[in-house]
């Protein structure tokens, strides 16, 4: 798949609602993300005909096929799509993903299913869900910018296979990964956590 977008052309992030979480959560994630990145973030709905591909025999969306379907929506040059879904996502070979993106791609997919404490039988914690989701989006945007996984535990690009690993890794790019970010992907210097609920 050819992508003509140059990574330093980033002008906005469009948060795409796909089998979306509650609207107030989508709005909170988008608002918090806009404080973490240096470009505007907007919410966008998928076309009515959009179909979510599922893994046969499993109650999961197929992450890679879903990513391809989102990429096929053709984000304009200078924009990236981040599909935010309430559905658990996985792969026929792997149990689950928190998010998926291609290096130098134009779109990412992030599932809030396993980022929500209630998935593990814990009490609802909206702020934690929002923070985890924003951090996972920023991680996937790092891949869109061409950055691979990092060995530094303090770096947001550290690979995380569990939600505890997401909670325990750094919330910012390490100096090496930050230096590799194209200008349009440079993070803002806003605080990491989302604003607390009133």
Listed residue (192, 144, 184) closest to 38, CA to CA: 184
Distance (Å) of CA 95 to CA 6, 35, 62, 88, 175: 33, 32, 11, 10, 32
- Collect contacts of 157-166 with beta carbons under 8 A, ≥24 apart: 160/98, 163/98, 163/114, 163/115, 163/120, 163/132, 166/98, 166/115, 166/132, 166/135, 166/136
187, two tokens:
């993070």
3-state secondary structure at position 102: coil
Catalytic residue, from 4, 48, 140, 197: name it. 140
Determine whether 71 is an active site residue: no
- Give dist(CA 180, CA 190) in Å, integer: 20
The residues assigned a catalytic role are 140
């Amino acid at each position: 798949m050819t992508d003509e977008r140059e990574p330093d052309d980033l002008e906005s992030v469009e948060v795409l609602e796909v089998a979306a979480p509650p609207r107030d959560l989508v709005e909170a994630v988008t608002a918090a993300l806009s404080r973490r990145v240096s470009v505007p973030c907007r919410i966008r709905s998928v076309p009515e005909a959009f179909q979510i591909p599922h893994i046969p025999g499993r109650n999961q969306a197929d992450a890679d096929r879903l990513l391809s379907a989102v990429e096929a929506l053709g984000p304009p040059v200078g924009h990236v799509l981040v599909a935010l879904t309430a559905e658990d996502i996985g792969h026929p070979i792997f149990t689950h993903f928190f998010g998926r993106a291609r290096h130098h791609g134009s779109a990412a997919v992030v599932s809030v299913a396993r980022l929500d404490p209630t998935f593990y039988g814990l009490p609802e914690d909206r702020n934690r869900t929002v923070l985890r989701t924003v951090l996972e989006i920023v991680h996937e945007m790092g891949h869109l910018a061409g950055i691979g996984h990092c060995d530094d535990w303090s770096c947001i690009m550290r690979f995380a296979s569990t939600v505890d690993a997401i909670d325990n890794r750094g919330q910012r790019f390490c100096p090496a990964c930050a230096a590799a970010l194209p200008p349009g992907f440079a993070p803002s210097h806003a605080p990491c956590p989302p604003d607390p609920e009133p």
